[in-house]
């Protein structure tokens, strides 16, 4: 992949293929694409946007750039409400327990805050007795369904989110 051409196409408002997005994200996750190029691409996306197919491709590429948690085939539906935190975290902290009460698994895999407001994980850590550092095996053993329990796995902030934060486009 010629990364400058990839960035230029988005800067000019053109559409990326799923394969191009996957190759870019994989290369960045492996450290083959430098942060300054990922930053330039994030800013081009901020100004030009992604269409529905590109958004889906980016979501899949980011999901598969790391480990994917496995759940038993007979388990309830899994849902995710991703958030970068934000002022108040008004949706995540309320929506996840409500979804769990409806027998949906909501494995809250959360990162540190972006920007000045702190992320969901930072806010949850402020609750006395709330444990955020569950291992994958501890999280898998939690009663995620109707009980409303919400395991939170602490993980390093993904490289793409770090780029969004330092380039002032975490709401991208």
Neighbours of 144 (CB within 10 A): 23
Q: How many residues does the chain have?
A: 172
Q: How many other β-carbons are positioned within 10 Å of the β-carbon of residue 25? A: 24
pLDDT for 126 equals 80
The answer to whether the CB of 81 falls within 8 A of the CB of 168 is no
Token output for 12: 């000019």
pLDDT bucket at 156, cuts 50 / 70 / 90: very low
Is pLDDT above 90 for 66? Answer: no
List phi, psi (to 5°) of 43: -70, -40
Please determine, for residue 108, whether its predicted confidence score (pLDDT) is greater than 80. Answer: no
Alpha carbons within 13 angstroms on the beta-carbon side of residue 72 total 6
Domain ranges of the chain: 3-66, 92-158
Gap between the Cα atoms of 57 and 2, Å rounded: 19
Residue 159 pLDDT level (bands cut at 50, 70, 90): low
**Confidence (pLDDT) at 41:** 95
The verdict on pTM exceeding 0.75 is no
Tokens of 3: 């990364």
**pLDDT average, residue stretch 7-33:** 95
List Cβ neighbours of 131 (8 Å cut-off, separation of 6 or more).
152
154 φ, ψ (degrees, to nearest 5): -80, 135
Q: What is the DSSP string of 37-64?
A: HHHHHHHHHHHH---HHHHHHHHHHHHT
Burial of 84 (0-12, 13-18, 19+ CB in 10 A): buried
Beta-carbon count within 10 A of 3 CB: 18
Higher pLDDT, 160 or 14: 14
Report the C-alpha gap between 168 and 42 in whole angstroms.
Answer: 10
Give the tens place of pLDDT for each residue, 76-97: 777 776 665 556 667 777 777 7
At the second CATH level, the architecture of 3-66 is Up-down Bundle (1.20)
């Amino acid at each position: 992949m010629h990364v400058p051409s990839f960035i230029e196409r988005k800067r000019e408002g053109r559409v990326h293929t799923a394969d191009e997005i996957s190759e870019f994200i994989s290369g960045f996750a492996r450290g083959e694409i430098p942060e300054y190029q990922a930053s330039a691409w994030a800013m081009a996306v901020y100004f030009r946007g992604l269409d529905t197919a590109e958004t889906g491709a980016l979501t899949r590429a980011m999901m598969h750039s790391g480990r994917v948690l496995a759940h038993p085939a007979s388990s309830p539906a899994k849902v995710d409400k991703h958030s970068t935190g934000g002022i108040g975290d008004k949706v995540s902290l309320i929506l996840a327990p409500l979804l769990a009460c409806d027998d949906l698994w909501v494995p809250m895999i959360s990162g540190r805050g972006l920007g000045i407001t702190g992320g969901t994980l930072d806010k949850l850590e402020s609750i006395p007795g709330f444990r955020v550092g569950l291992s994958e095996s501890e999280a898998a053993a939690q009663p995620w369904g109707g009980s409303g329990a919400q395991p939170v796995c602490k993980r390093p902030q993904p490289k793409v989110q770090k780029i969004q934060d330092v380039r002032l486009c975490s709401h991208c």
